[in-house]
Structure 1
Amino acid sequence: MTRFTPFYVNEKNAAALLDMGVAEFRAHVATGHLPRGHEIVPGVLRWDAEALRMIGRGAAVEGMGGVDW
């Protein structure tokens, strides 16, 4: 069986990528701390899995590329 990495994930899997429960994930999305999902077809929301991985790695911070951590 071929293993694949999804480009977009549903809310449950988006929360799991960040080791959160769905309610906690929803709260962070609602406050703007995490990105909103994209409606890829009418009524179907999905989150960009790579963007969530970047957030998890701390690589999504803009304007800090010159900082030597």
Structure 2
Amino acid sequence: MAVQGRKEIEISQREHRPVSLIYMDSKGAISQRVVQVTDVTDEGIQAYCFLRKKPRTFRPDQILAASLQARRPIAR
């Protein structure tokens, strides 16, 4: 996985901690989401998005930055 914030994403998955992602979508729009990583695959980073309140897939090549957040449970 060649991605900015790789270490933070791995910690998020391993320790069940949310991570803030800054990414650029396919149209070039930049946004920020707080997510909890559930899986990392060749297709992307599977995560629960707290903004959308549902699972999302993030492409590693579109992640510009990642930073760990304080622990909080997944609200489903």
- What TM-score results when the alignment is normalised by the length of structure 1? 0.29
- What TM-score results when the alignment is normalised by the length of structure 2? 0.27
Larger strand fraction of residues: 2
Q: Per chain length, whose mean CA-contact separation is higher, i.e. which structure has more relative contact order (CA < 8 Å, sep 6+)?
A: 2
Larger helix fraction of residues: 1
Larger Rg: 1
